[in-house]
Amino acid sequence: MAQLTNGDRASEVSVAELVKQLSEQTTQLARQEAQLAKVELLAKSKSAGIGASMFGGAGAVVFYALGALIAAAILGLATAVAAWLAALVVAALLAGVAGVLALQGKSKLRQATPPIPEQATESSKEDARWVKARAHTAKQ
């Protein structure tokens, strides 16, 4: 900061220098904050990627466990009826479950289409009407 030797001129220079320093420091702070946010998001996204991979692995293991459970059901039923009939019964049950899930999924998809946020759209239209009405009454 410059010393005050020439009265107003020196204070103008010092104010200008202060404004310049403020601008530089603000820019530097903004860059540092952006860099910090970038580092933080990178760490979080890496952690999220690992978590998602673990969920994927869990899904694969559950898939194989379900296959083993189905095989156990077939083998258990095969003690009472012929093996081919046991497999046919379990396959029919699984097809029935798949059919019910497919119908429920179709129903949910039908409810979700068209993918337009209807309540938000209507609320926005209502807000626009309110603003127009307020602007109209303000003119009068």
Indicate if 14 and 66 belong to the same structural domain: yes
Q: What is the pTM of this model?
A: 0.51
- DSSP secondary structure of 59-117: HHHHHHHHHHHHHHHHHHHTTTS-HHHHHHHHHHHHHHHHHHHHHHHHHHHHHH-S---
Q: List the structure tokens of 98.
A: 């798949």
Indicate if 66 and 126 belong to the same structural domain: no
**pLDDT single digits (tens) 113-130:** 777 777 777 777 887 788
Indicate if 120 and 136 belong to the same structural domain: yes
Q: List the structure tokens of 27.
A: 């820019």
Q: List the structure tokens of 13.
A: 């220079």
Indicate if 69 and 3 belong to the same structural domain: yes
Indicate if 64 and 89 belong to the same structural domain: no
Indicate if 66 and 95 belong to the same structural domain: no
Indicate if 4 and 56 belong to the same structural domain: yes
Indicate if 52 and 92 belong to the same structural domain: no
Indicate if 59 and 39 belong to the same structural domain: yes
State the CB neighbour count (10 A cutoff) for residue 52: 10
Label residues 5-25 b or e (16+ Cβ within 10 Å = b). Answer: eeeeeeeeeeeeeeeeeeeee
Q: Are 123 and 131 in contact (CB under 8 A)?
A: no
Indicate if 99 and 30 belong to the same structural domain: no
Indicate if 67 and 26 belong to the same structural domain: yes
Indicate if 24 and 44 belong to the same structural domain: yes
**pLDDT single digits (tens) 56-83:** 999 999 999 999 999 999 999 999 999 9
Q: Are 74 and 87 in contact (CB under 8 A)?
A: yes
Q: List the structure tokens of 99.
A: 């059919």
Q: Compare 92 and 129 and report the one with higher pLDDT.
A: 92
Which domain, by its residues, includes 120? Answer: 82-140
Q: Compare 62 and 131 and report the one with higher pLDDT.
A: 62
Q: Of 77, 108, 127, which marks where a domain is finished?
A: 77
How many domains does the chain contain in total? 2
